[in-house]
Structure 1
Amino acid sequence: MKSSLLDRTFQISLILKGIDGLLEIFGGVLLLAVTPGQIGAVVRALTLHELAEDPTDLIAGALVHSAGALTMSASLLAAVYLLAHGLVKVVLVWAVLRDHLWAFPWMIAFLLLFIALQTYRIWGSFTWAHLALTLFDAFVAWLTWHEYRVHRKRRRRLSPTKPSRPPRRL
């Protein structure tokens, strides 16, 4: 029962990671297709009502400020980051869901790298969203490590043992 609950949790976590990867790819493509000026106009239109109601709204004000400061090079960098990150995530999630044993260590390494980057960002400016994302990634990394061990053990049991050669005599 415990194993099947962990298996289902692992599957759901991977599917969420895959959906996140697809959204990152979509966001990267969108950033390539839209100019920073267009992004600024959309953000201003979306926050207009909120800022008219409360001109000191921190979130709306920060969004307008960030969108206004967005440059073409920053937009391109963000697009490349999102496309690369999303593509790697989707490929690894697909390979792990297909039980490709090689993908498990890569998935763990990828998650640990981004946990380190997210931890650095948390030290710079704490947000609950970054903390939640970091904890979720740590949980998925642990689940991936657990499943990797289970799959390796299962493959060892199922694979025929190779006969050992007798030692050579000189």
Structure 2
Amino acid sequence: MARRRRTRPSPVLDLIFLIGIVGKGIDGLLELVGGILLLAVAPGQLARLVQVLTAEERAEDPHDLLANLLLHGVTHLGTGTTAMLAAYVLLHGVVKVAIVIALLRGSRRVYPWAIGALGLFLVLQLYSLVVSPSVGVVVLTVLDAVIILLTWREWHENRTVHDTWRSTLSALRGRSRPAPAQPSQDA
């Protein structure tokens, strides 16, 4: 089998990829915690908790977008809706955390799975945009599309996350060092 020709690494794209992987891991952990909370807390308790947590922000700015979206969202949750949302968020979190762990362990085989899973989530986000458009979902969809493209790039380059990390650190160190002094031609 012919070996793929490597292109010159791009430290900026590599750094974006690494930040995206860490971000997906953190997002996955937060989704796991959120899914567990959705299962453990009754919808009424959740609504009261969000009211308490957003009270100060809503007092300062009654039109705060995030606080009002959270409050509106939890006040319309029923028991069945909460269970479905919890299952979706837990599944989403488990998949993201599993992908990030596999990537951090150095597995190249996970790249196609990561691209497929993130692609599926991207399709669900696009559906969500069609049904109920929002700026937040647009931003998340664009970020996910960028992460998918960068993941494909890493897979195509046949690099692990460790390879990317090392080349990025090397490039950053190389840029932070002053250029070596050139010998004078006057002598």
TM-score by length of 1: 0.77
Alignment of 1:51-66 (within 5 A): 57=63, 59=65, 62-66=69-73
- 1:107 CA displacement: 0.3
Structure 2 Cα separation of the partners of residues 51 and 97 of structure 1: 40
Higher relative contact order (CA 8 A, sep 6+): 2
Q: Note if 1:110 corresponds to 2:117.
A: yes
Q: Hey, what does 1:168 align to over in structure 2? A: none
Aligned alpha-carbon RMSD (Å): 2.3
Alignment of 1:1-170 (within 5 A): 2-48=9-55, 57=63, 59=65, 62-151=69-158
Structure with the bigger percentage of helix: 1
- 1:15 CA displacement: 0.6
Structure 2 Cα separation of the partners of residues 9 and 52 of structure 1: 37
Q: Deviations over 1:65-92 (max 9, x none)?
A: 4322211111111111111110111111
Q: Percent identity?
A: 44
- 1:47 CA displacement: 4.5
| Structure 1, unpaired ranges of 5+ | 153-170
Aligned length: 151
Determine helix, strand or coil for the equivalent of 1:151.
Answer: coil
User: Does the CA-based 8 Å contact 1:11-1:97 persist in structure 2?
Assistant: no
| Structure 2, unpaired ranges of 5+ | 1-7, 160-187
Residues 41 and 104 of structure 1, relative CA distance in 2, 3 Å threshold? same
Residues 53 and 15 of structure 1, relative CA distance in 2, 3 Å threshold? closer
